[in-house]
Structure 1
Amino acid sequence: MSISIAACLVIINVLVVMYGVTTRYLLGGAPIWTDELSRYSMIATAMLAGGGTWVYGRHMRVALAERFLPVHVVRWVVYYQWLLSLSFAVIGTYMTWRYALSVSMFTSQGLGISRSIPMLSMPLGFGLLSLAIVVHGPSPLPRQVVQ
């Protein structure tokens, strides 16, 4: 689900950037909100895609260690990676939540909204990453068989 939302945000980002570039070259200037919206959508895309990519084993993992170590050692490496990733995700959720709330008194220059609104994608993304890490559990990547 978070990958689908991130994919939609990428499409929105591309459209906003294309609109900004087109108006800049055709009309001589782009609205200020295009830069701001593209920046916020890039942040939201990265944060929301994190949880989904963890499940597929493509996020914050040292796959090289898992592929070349003995199986009994891999179990400990995977558990360590899982615990470390979960710790970072939970701490990231807490810290970005506090940050998003601390900027509520400021409004964005181009969009005219509270800066907390787009910044809430950070704790949401870290929270989804935490949830994905907990649900997926400490499991090794599938071993590839070379034929």
Structure 2
Amino acid sequence: MTSLRSRVLAVSRPVSLFVASALLLINLAVILYGVFMRYLAGGAPIWTDELARFLIIGSVMLAAGAVWVEGGHMRVALIERLLPAPLCRLLHLYQWLLTLGLVIAGAVFSYRYAQSVAMFTTSGLGISRTVPMLSLPIGFGLLAWQALWYGPAPLPSQAEEAV
């Protein structure tokens, strides 16, 4: 089971980070195009700001699971260092269950919300608001997927280096 878990995480983490990075590069291109059009060509299309906003939200949501599994998010692990081993394992189980509960609820509620705004269109792109809003349930779903496969193990911590 451990090797299957490692393989699933070894595939899903880089894939989600690659897609998030691609969205970030597209976002950079859209912003540069908007800046070029605004300041050098005389007027930027309205869709550049809106698309840049949607792309940054999508890239953050897609990368959230991989960052959580790598322990690259901001957290304070003081309690983990002070507790004895049996209580620390119980704390890790609690954190894992809480994370799964919150992200699954986030996926369900954001999916319902994305479906409820289907009749509205975005002002700049003219597409259904559901399309950009689906980045939230997809991101929460990926975070739940990666957290589920990671299990209630302790998260890696990013050690501070002395300067």
Unaligned runs of 5+ in 2: 1-14
- Per the TM alignment, residue 85 of structure 1 is displaced from its structure 2 partner at its CA by 0.6
Residue range with higher mean Cα deviation, 32-41 or 134-143: 134-143
Report the counterpart of residue 126 of structure 2 in structure 1: 112
Partner of 1:20: 34
Going from structure 1 to structure 2, the CA distance change for 1:143 and 1:136 (only over 3 Å counts) comes to same
> For each residue in 1:53-105, what CA deviation from the matched residue of structure 2 results, as whole angstroms up to 9, or x when unmatched?
12212347543332343222211111111011101001000100011001110
Tell me the distance in 2 between the aligned counterparts of 1:59 and 1:49: 11
* Contact 1:63–1:141 under 8 Å retained in 2: no
Structure 1 residues 110, 20: CA separation in 2 closer, same or farther (over 3 Å shift)?
same
Matched, 1:101 2:115: yes
Secondary structure (helix, strand or coil) at the match of 2:40 reads helix
Q: Is 2:93 the counterpart of 1:74?
A: no
CA distance in 1, matches of 2:132, 2:112: 14
The residue number in structure 1 matching 2:150 is 136
8 Å Cα contact 1:61/1:81 also seen in 2: no
Report the TM-score when normalising by structure 2.
0.82
Instruction: Give the total of aligned pairs.
Output: 145
Q: 1:119 to 1:61 in 2, by over 3 A?
A: same
Q: For 1:16-75, what per-residue CA distance to the aligned partner results, in whole angstroms no more than 9, with x for missing partners?
A: 111111111012221111001000001101111111112212347543332343222211
* Cα distance, 1:5–1:144 mapped onto 2, change above 3 Å: closer
Instruction: Check the 8 A contact 1:54/1:60 in 2, yes or no.
Output: no
Do the aligned partners of 1:33 and 1:110 also contact (CA within 8 Å) in 2?
yes
Cα deviations across residues 93-142 of structure 1 (Å, max 9, x unaligned)? 01000110011101111111111011111101111111111111000135
| TM-score normalised according to structure 1 size | 0.90
Take 2:47 and 2:157, find their aligned partners in 1: how far apart are those partners?
Answer: 47
Q: SS at 1:27's partner residue?
A: coil
Q: Give structure 1 stretches of 5+ with no counterpart.
A: none
SS in 2 for 1:131: helix
